[in-house]
């Protein structure tokens, strides 16, 4: 796995301290000394930078450092990859420095057009030793970006692939232990976007027949890679579809042919203005798709309207659905419950106010109208410390937020105790790339 190289701004904690005879107390206060290779690399970078050149780190994705580390030549030692912006017709520059013992030397350099690096990944795309650089460049505002796959060979960065794109992701769709490139872009003569699949075959990058999206690329909200069902790797592209709907296109191989594996007419409504995305809800290594199940309402309770459970399922290659989980998601408070199957159609959910203003949810038995249990999330730690006096029990805590529950008499009708409720309760993970849940 690639290791990121943080330079200049962060003092390394893993270098030897000045002096060899400091006692333990003095070592606590000694100023760390950078390694010789650190200073050597810094000098070599400065040597290739002309006046006016500047560091230009990628603006998106996981790797947003100006200097990064990855093994590009397969020698088990990471090279330093530097992203710069220079002057001239090709201002975006990538420099690769190879480490020989404790000294770095410039191994390769490539210049390209554009005004910024979009994002970069390091993956094994071809069958030669080492990783390739998969990098996107922004050409100008309003113009399609350009994706390049670069490999280092005999001191030269060679471009294996150069193509326009709107979004891209790498994934091993053909299960050959190499990462493929799936990119999405828009042709001017068609309404919806297209997905294009590149992989390494017989010593070259091969483009397969493209597949269509259900929406224009401008509607894309989230892209993830995973397994659609057992043995079927795929890429899941979620996009907004008309007002308040989201559609998920699934791209992968069927009998060796790249295609859209999903039912393109399958859409999901939003849950109280929150998008519902596919995910591995049960942690079995497969990506589940969501389907909303409307819940019963409670007379006189406005908060019970438009509530829904989420049915999660795997889509099989045959087109059939394999049901997996039933959940209730509270996106605004960041938690969800796994709901037993036999509870469906028997429970309703409405709003709750506790502790003088803290919002929450009240789960109600539809037949009797009795409250089964209630859940609130409180940021006030003083409230959280005193909840035991009022019958509230802590479910879990995350940062400054404490999640609490209270069981009512109707909980006996569902054989529910606080231990079982804790097992049902989960926090919603936030996607690092989009900031959405």
How confident is the prediction along the chain (437 residues), in pLDDT tens digits per residue?
333 333 333 333 333 333 333 344 444 444 455 567 788 999 999 999 999 999 999 999 999 999 999 999 999 999 999 999 999 899 999 999 999 888 899 999 999 999 999 999 999 999 999 999 999 999 977 667 999 999 999 889 999 999 999 999 999 999 999 999 999 999 888 899 999 999 999 999 999 999 999 999 999 999 999 999 999 999 999 999 888 899 999 999 999 999 999 977 678 888 878 899 999 999 999 999 999 999 999 988 888 898 999 999 999 998 899 999 999 999 999 999 999 999 999 999 999 888 776 789 999 999 999 999 999 998 877 676 777 777 899 999 998 888 999 999 999 999 999 999 999 999 998 765 555 65
Handedness of CA 66, 95, 110, 123 (dihedral sign): negative
Q: What confidence score (pLDDT) does residue 140 get?
A: 77
In this structure, are strands 132-138 and 54-55 parallel, antiparallel, or unpaired? unpaired
Q: How far apart are CA 309 and CA 330, in angstroms?
A: 10
**Cα distances (angstroms) measured from residue 225 to each of 179, 196, 237, 378:** 11, 15, 9, 35
Alpha-carbon torsion, ordered 184, 185, 191, 194, to 10 deg: -40
Q: What confidence score (pLDDT) does residue 31 get?
A: 47
**Cα distances (angstroms) measured from residue 108 to each of 41, 82, 97, 246, 359:** 14, 11, 7, 44, 58
What are the tokens at 218? 């401008």
Q: What confidence score (pLDDT) does residue 100 get?
A: 85
Q: Report yes or no: 126 and 137 within 8 Å, Cβ to Cβ.
A: no
Burial (CB count within 10 angstroms: exposed 0-12, middle 13-18, buried 19+), residue 117: buried
Backbone angles phi, psi at 380, to 5 degrees: -80, 115
* Chain centroid offset of residue 33 CA: 36
Q: Which residues pair with 237 in a beta bridge?
A: 223, 249
Q: Report yes or no: 364 and 348 within 8 Å, Cβ to Cβ.
A: yes
Q: How far apart are CA 426 and CA 332, in angstroms?
A: 14
Q: Which residue has the tokens 């960065």?
A: 157
What are the tokens at 1? 């796995």
Q: What confidence score (pLDDT) does residue 142 get?
A: 66
pTM: 0.86
Per the document, the length of the chain is: 437
């Amino acid at each position: 796995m690639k290791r990121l190289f943080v330079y200049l701004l962060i003092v390394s904690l893993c270098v030897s301290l000045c002096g060899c005879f400091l006692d333990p107390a003095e070592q606590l206060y000694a100023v760390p000394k950078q390694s010789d290779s650190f200073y050597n690399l810094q000098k070599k970078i400065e040597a290739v930078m002309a006046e006016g050149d500047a560091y230009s780190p990628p603006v998106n994705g996981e790797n947003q450092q100006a200097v990064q580390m990855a093994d590009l030549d397969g020698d088990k030692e990471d090279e330093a990859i530097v992203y710069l912006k220079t002057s001239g017709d090709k201002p975006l520059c990538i420099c690769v420095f190879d480490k020989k013992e404790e000294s770095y030397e410039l191994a390769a350099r490539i210049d390209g057009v554009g005004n910024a690096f979009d994002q970069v990944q390091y993956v094994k795309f071809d069958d030669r030793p080492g990783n390739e650089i998969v990098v996107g460049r922004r050409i100008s505002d309003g113009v399609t970006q350009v994706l390049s796959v670069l490999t280092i060979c005999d001191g030269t960065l060679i471009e294996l692939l150069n193509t326009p794109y709107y979004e891209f992701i790498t994934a091993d769709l053909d299960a050959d232990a190499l990462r493929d490139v799936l990119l999405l872009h828009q042709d001017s003569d068609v309404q919806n976007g297209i997905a294009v699949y590149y992989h390494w075959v017989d010593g070259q990058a091969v483009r397969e027949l493209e597949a269509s999206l259900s929406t224009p690329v401008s509607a894309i909200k989230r892209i993830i890679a995973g397994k659609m069902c057992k043995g079927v790797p795929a890429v899941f592209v979620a996009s907004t579809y008309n007002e308040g709907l989201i559609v998920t296109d699934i791209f992968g191989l069927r009998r060796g042919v790249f295609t859209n594996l999903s039912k393109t007419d399958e859409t999901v409504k939003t849950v109280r203005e929150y998008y519902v995305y596919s995910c591995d809800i049960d942690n079995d290594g497969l990506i589940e798709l969501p389907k909303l199940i409307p819940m019963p309402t409670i007379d006189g309770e406005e908060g019970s309207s438009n509530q829904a459970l989420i049915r999660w399922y795997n889509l099989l290659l045959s087109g059939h659905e394999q049901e997996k989980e039933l959940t209730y998601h509270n996106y605004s408070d960041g938690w969800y419950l796994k709901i037993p199957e036999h509870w469906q159609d028997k429970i309703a959910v409405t709003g709750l106010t506790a502790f003088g203003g803290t919002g929450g949810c009240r789960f109600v038995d539809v037949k009797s109208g009795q409250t089964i249990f209630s859940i609130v999330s409180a940021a006030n730690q003083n409230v959280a410390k005193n909840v035991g006096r009022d019958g509230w029990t802590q479910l879990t805590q995350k940062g400054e937020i404490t999640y609490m529950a209270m069981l009512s008499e109707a909980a006996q009708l569902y054989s529910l105790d606080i231990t079982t409720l804790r097992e049902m309760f989960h926090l919603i993970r936030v996607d690092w790339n989009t900031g959405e849940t």
